[in-house]
Amino acid sequence: MAEAGKTRFQINLRHFLRERDVDRNLTRVICEIADASKYIVNSIRTGDLGVAGTSNLYGEEQLALDVLSDRILRKRLAHSGVVANIVSEEQPEIVPLSPDCEGKFSVAYDPLDGSSLVDVNLAVGTIVSIYAGCDLLQPGCNQAAAMYILYGPRTTLVLSTGDGVHEFNMNQLMEYTLTRENIQVGASGSIYSPGGQRNKYTAGVRSFVEQLEARGSKLRYSGGFVPDINQVLMKGKGIFFYPHLNDTPEGKLRVLFELNPMAFLMEQAGGAASNGKSRILDMVPDNIDMRAPVFIGSKDEVALAERCIAEQG
């Protein structure tokens, strides 16, 4: 229900969550992250584009912006008083923020996914996965909420608390207001975003791509996971994949920080997410740095990928 005197699309994030009866502590976590993103967007616009001189758990060189975004989020989450544990793609281990779990939430995040695209001025994003309690090594289907913030020509926040997927835009006052409610992804679509080098694709993945191309699917790939997923969600169709490759059977993308939150959002929008054999959200992570191949988007295309892989690997 819209507040008196306001149209539905002037509702801000906090009011929206209150209206949907979202847990107060969870609302707090989400709003802290939304607040942190205002500082992150400012760093992206004006900050240092150089390297930090350090590398992350995956041996990737950290940029000053990665480290800064990580610090901004960590500070906000620590200050919230309702977060038990956090783990970041830019940190080597789980960081405890509170000794007790009761009523608290734990958060896994990729502070600035695609950060190497900032110097060429392409879109990047923050990806967040939230669990009730202390445990961060759970299957993604247990997420209490998932969200991302996309720093493109506009700054948008896309969120699900298990009750559909909703988009908010940052306005001139740097507040997030609702712009789309109950986003839906159709069963089939004509856009595909293929990650990884094609000459390393397995026979099954090659056959999948050939079938998409034969149907006239259009290639739409930016190299940033957040904008590429956002395109599928907002156009309401298509598929993104970063498959297993001949020399890297585990693919590239990380289950805790990248795949689980996006899979949760895609399923909430009526789409699907698979590692080529089974549902991403059913995978039990054995470690914070676990990776998996991913096929995510319209249900029919995800099923086609699974069939091609079952037949040809």
Residues found near ligand F6P in the complex (CB under 6 A): 113-114, 195-196, 223-225, 242, 252
Binding letters toward Mn ion, positions 68-107, x by CB under 5 A: ----------------------------------------
**Closer to Mn ion by Cβ: residue 32 or 110:** 110
Element (H, E) at 134: none
| Shortest distance in whole angstroms from residue 303 CB to Mn ion | 27
| Shortest distance in whole angstroms from residue 232 CB to ligand F6P | 12
Query: How far does the chain reach from its first CA to its final CA, in angstroms?
Result: 49
Strand segments, DSSP code E, in the chain are 51-55, 61-63, 83-88, 95-96, 105-113, 124-132, 145-151, 155-160, 166-170, 176-180, 191-194, 218-219, 239-242, 272-274, 294-297
**Closer to Mn ion by Cβ: residue 117 or 187:** 117
Name the binder of 223 from Mn ion, ligand F6P, none, CB < 5-8 A by kind. Answer: ligand F6P
| Amino acid making up residue 260 | N
Residues 111-150 that bind Mn ion (CB under 5 A): 113
DSSP state of 101: -
> Is there a contact between 275 and 299 (Cβ–Cβ < 8 Å)?
no
> Is there a contact between 239 and 301 (Cβ–Cβ < 8 Å)?
yes
**Closer to ligand F6P by Cβ: residue 16 or 257:** 257
Name the binder of 224 from Mn ion, ligand F6P, none, CB < 5-8 A by kind. Answer: ligand F6P
* Tokens encoding 277: 């054999």
Binding flag, residue 110, Mn ion (CB under 5 A): yes
Question: What is the DSSP track for 24-64?
Answer: HHHHHHHHHHHHHHHHHHHHHHHS--SEEEEE-TTSPEEEH
Q: Say how far apart CA 122 and CA 165 lie, in whole Å.
A: 24
**Closer to ligand F6P by Cβ: residue 68 or 124:** 124
**Closer to ligand F6P by Cβ: residue 131 or 242:** 242
| Shortest distance in whole angstroms from residue 283 CB to ligand F6P | 18
- Name the residue number minimizing CB distance to ligand F6P: 225
Q: Say how far apart CA 157 and CA 142 lie, in whole Å.
A: 21
Name the binder of 293 from Mn ion, ligand F6P, none, CB < 5-8 A by kind. Answer: none
**Closer to ligand F6P by Cβ: residue 84 or 262:** 262
Residues that bind Mn ion (CB under 5 A): 110, 113
